């Protein structure tokens, strides 16, 4: 991913309720749908006690469009009703970035 | 955490090499030390295939100071030499935030 600056990150941190209740299937479907949205750049995800999903976008408009996407709206509703005991969404502007890969450095 | 806007997030995504090699102990120590830095607001962490640590800060200055902290510099060096095959650091300005808690809504 070689994005143009600035781009945007949506940090979604959450705590799940007990049981799957259709969460996994919908979660995977949302990942697929998000990737089809205009302005989508990528995603990072991990869950231990806290679940963290960070999606990256070209613009605030792209983020707003995904938030308002019909299937995603239903998933958000189900999220509040069933899947999450708590969550937090932070909309961020990525100002600077640097990367390391052990392949790039002398052994 | 009720921060004043804007505040800043450092998104640290990484892939670990095999074996602990002192990683866990240093990681916990860095969490303790970061929490003592001026301008520190909090942290979120989870690891599955990808490791994600997001730390939150009052200012870019606070982020720069933590990056230059002596113990942290040593840990960063060890990270490149031993613990991480890849990592990426994104410095972000948090522009907007909203939260949900099931405790806040009618049953």
0.90 surpassed by complex ipTM: yes
A13-68 residue pLDDT tens = 999 999 999 999 999 999 999 999 999 999 999 999 999 999 999 999 999 999 99
Residue B31 phi, psi dihedral angles, 5° rounding: -60, -45
More confident residue, B12 or B1: B12
Select A7-104's CATH number: 3.30.1330.30, 3.30.70.100, 3.30.70.260, 3.40.50.970: 3.30.70.100
Chain B residue whose CA is closest to A1? B88
B8-20 residue pLDDT tens = 999 999 999 999 9
Candidates B14, B52, B81: best to mutate against A (most CBs of A within 10 A) is B52
| Smallest Cα distance from B19 to chain A, Å | 16
Of A47, A85, A93, the CB nearest to B92: A93
pLDDT at position A36? 98
**Average pLDDT value for residue range B52-66:** 98
pLDDT at position A52? 98
Mean pLDDT of chain B: 94
pLDDT higher than 70, residue B63:
yes
Residue B106 phi, psi dihedral angles, 5° rounding: -60, 145
Could you tell me the residue ranges of all domains in chain A?
7-104
Q: Give the model's confidence band at A1: pLDDT under 50 very low, under 70 low, under 90 confident, else very high.
A: low
pLDDT at position B2? 63
CB contact under 8 A, A86 and B105: no
pLDDT higher than 60, residue B107:
no
pLDDT at position A2? 62
Buried b / exposed e over B58-72, threshold 16 CB at 10 Å, is beeebbebbeebeeb
More confident residue, A2 or A62: A62
| Smallest Cα distance from A75 to chain B, Å | 14
Q: Which residues of B touch A105 (CB under 8 A)?
A: 80
Residue A10 structure tokens:
């949506």
Residue B86 to residues A40, A70, B63, Cα–Cα distance (Å): 23, 36, 21
Residue A73 phi, psi dihedral angles, 5° rounding: -60, -45
B15-35 residue pLDDT tens = 999 999 999 999 999 999 999
């Amino acid at each position: 991913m070689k994005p143009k600056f600035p781009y945007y990150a949506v940090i979604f941190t959450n705590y799940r309720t007990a049981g799957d209740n259709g969460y996994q299937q919908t979660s995977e479907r949302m990942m697929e749908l998000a990737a089809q949205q205009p302005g989508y750049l990528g995603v990072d995800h991990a869950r231990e006690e806290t679940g963290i999903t960070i999606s990256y976008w070209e613009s605030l408009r792209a983020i707003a469009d995904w938030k308002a996407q019909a299937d995603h709206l239903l998933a958000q509703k189900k999220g509040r009703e069933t899947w999450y005991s708590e969550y937090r969404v932070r909309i961020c502007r990525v100002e600077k970035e640097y990367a390391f890969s052990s392949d790039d450095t002398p052994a």
